[in-house]
A and B are shown apart, each in its own frame.
Chain A
């Protein structure tokens, strides 16, 4: 096994995903199976190979620092799970 239940629980916390015990146990098996398959990459010597980073003609794209979008607060706030007039209302973050 490459993966333990404890590691899965730690990753789930990092990813902010609640998992039931059944889900965690099924995921441990499935992810382990997939990671074992990924091991085939170790057959390739990549010591002197640059990792791929981007595929662009030019990496830096700049534009003038000007506002171009129209004010659209009502449409944006219409999707909010909770709002208070023109604010997004969110759970308390400090005790």
Chain B
């Protein structure tokens, strides 16, 4: 049996039937990493010894039957912007040096108390800023479906690790598409929950009004299981929602008769790849055949979302990244005075894209430009949010492509930042409006690269998103396809 190809729910059933132990499953994952990660390069840091200890403890709990959590004994990869106690955390930046977190973030804490095994830390664009994982200060990650292509970003390492069976599931973060776009590029399932659904405590901040943690998995059932484990109120994050968490697995009933699916022509634009268009149209037909009602809606502010996002996200980032001053942690340069210490430490520590965003964010917040850029963007953000609220008066979920094209070639867009920003065109409105959305596989292009289908829900209605995604997945076989490595 190929243990590493299993999903969470398959592996959990087999662990509980004693077909293998968590230690055996964890060892198989590390063997798979050893055999494939020289090509994929999904991981920045492996936690082999800790993982085996966690697996041993899970095996004891499995034997005694004391812990019913579905994550018990399951090897999970974590993006390297989650703080992990005692385990090096870099955010794929040189400025953090060999930072060893003094505590676990809340999500990591929840995984560990559910009995999960943390395999290691996955690669990302530095500070989660990018759409290709090429902005890592260490090395780019390669797409398991074609090693010359990007895995997407910023959670490119997590997406590639799931696609390459180098873990059973992974966690990512999504500020403008950073879970969904790499999930689409690598043919896996990526869910960005509603803003506030999952605690942000202990993830390294990029844009605090949009950052959100979410699961990256091999199927929709796993997405529901992993979300269940991490969702809920956290007193340590004042923006986490104090609301009850529904039973997400219960929503996976396959019955979408009468469900209203909104389709917006703004998400089917000239210039998008014809086979992406076709795959998503086929998905709409498939859901229609299963009883969903297709409704036309209008989202006319979509074309402004990239401009709004890159003002607000960079403004927040310029403020959040002010903490990297080389005083209490991270890289410090030797210099003649304090100002130079700051300036040289930050010059040496940050990569080109991070500097570009700090500069843009500082500019749009600076005296004389604040009203014209930052405030203007926040006004348009209100319109984008209202636009979705209005649309959801007519439908239960909205269906779009996740990306206008499949994964592009490594190096193809690195010289043109604006073109890179435009690859997020279908995902960023959702962060601006704080909504939940999933990407799941819905086909392949002529080069054999996966295509992603995005399903957007109302605030805190992850259940409808998962229900729709699951119904589609039941009717198709795309999620069962595996790359050959």
How far is the CB of A38 from the nearest CB of chain B, in Å? 5
Do A81 and B308 have beta carbons less than 8 Å apart? no
Could you name 11 residue pairs across A and B whose Cβ atoms are closer than 8 Å?
Answer: A27-B356, A41-B308, A44-B383, A49-B382, A50-B382, A52-B379, A78-B102, A79-B330, A81-B327, A88-B327, A93-B338
Within 8 Å by CB of B307, from A37, A49, A90, A93, lies A37
B374, closest chain A residue (CB): A51
The reply on B17 being an interface residue by CB < 8 A is: no
**Interface set of B (CB-CB < 8 Å, partner A):** 97, 99-100, 102-103, 195-196, 209, 235, 238-239, 241-243, 301, 303-304, 306-308, 310-311, 318, 322, 325-332, 335, 337-344, 346-347, 350, 352, 355-356, 358-360, 362-363, 366, 373, 375-383, 385, 417-418, 421, 432, 434
Is the pair B434, A30 in contact by a Cβ cutoff of 8 Å? no
Distance between Cα atoms of A12 and B340 in the complex (Å): 12
| Nearest A residue (CB) for B348 | A18
Instruction: Considering the complex, give the chain A residue whose CB is closest to the CB of B417.
Output: A30
By the criterion CB–CB under 8 Å, are B380 and A38 in contact? Answer: no
Extra A-B contacts (13), CB below 8 Å, given A16-B342, A17-B346, A34-B417: A7-B363, A15-B346, A16-B339, A30-B356, A41-B377, A52-B379, A52-B432, A63-B235, A72-B103, A81-B97, A81-B331, A91-B335, A91-B338
Distance, CA A38 to CA B256, complexed state (A): 40
- B307:A78 contact, CB within 8 angstroms: no
Of B310, B338, B380, B385, the residue contacting A46 (CB under 8 A) is: B380
* Contact A50–B379 (Cβ < 8 Å): yes
B362 to A41, Cβ gap below 8 A? no
Q: How far is the CA of A58 from the CA of B196 in the complex (A)?
A: 12
Chain B contact residues: over half helix, strand or loop, or mixed? helix
B417 touches A15 (CB 8 A): no
Mark contacts of A1-21 with chain B using CB atoms, 8 A cut-off: 1 yes-contact digit, 0 otherwise: 001000110011111111100
- Are A40 and B304 in contact, CB atoms less than 8 angstroms apart? yes
Q: Give the chain B neighbours of A80 by CB distance below 8 A.
A: 328-329
Please tell me which one of the listed residues A12, A16, A18, A57 contacts residue B241 in the complex, with CB atoms under 8 A apart.
A57
Partner of A91, one of B337, B366, B421: B337
A26 to chain B: closest residue by CB:
B352
Q: Point out the residue from B332, B380, B418 that lies within 8 Å of A82, measured CB to CB.
A: B332
Q: A80-B329, A81-B330 known; A33 and B377 CB under 8 Å?
A: no
Q: Which residues of A contact B342 (CB under 8 A)?
A: 16
Q: Which 3 A-B pairs have the closest CB atoms?
A: A51-B378, A75-B102, A81-B332
Task: Please measure, in the bound complex, the distance between the C-alpha atom of A2 and the C-alpha atom of B324, giving whole angstroms.
Answer: 29
Contact A52 B378, beta carbon cutoff 8 Å: yes
Chain B residue nearest in CB terms to A46: B379
* A81 with B379: CB separation less than 8 A: no
Give bound CA distance, A3 to B303, whole Å.
24
Considering the complex, give the chain B residue whose CB is closest to the CB of A19: B347
Considering only CB atoms, which chain A residue lies closest to B378 in the complex? A51
Query: Which residue from chain A places its CB closest to the CB of B368 in the assembled complex?
Result: A7
Q: Mark interface residues in A44-65 (1 if CB within 8 Å of B CB, else 0).
A: 1010011111111110010100
Least CB distance, B277 to chain A, in whole angstroms: 24
**One of B196, B337, B360 near A31 (C-beta < 8 A):** B360
B375 lies within 8 A of A51 (CB)? yes
Contact in complex: A40, B327 (CB < 8 Å): no
A38 touches B329 (CB 8 A): no
Nearest A residue (CB) for B363: A11
Candidates B303, B332, B335, B418; contact of A34 at CB < 8 Å: B418
Please state if B337 and A79 are interface contacts (CB–CB under 8 Å): no
| B102 and A51 form a contact (CB under 8 A) | no
Does A72 contact B356, Cβ atoms closer than 8 Å? no
Q: Which residues of B contact A27 (CB under 8 A)?
A: 355-356, 359
Contact of A49 among B304, B383, B417 (CB under 8 A): B383
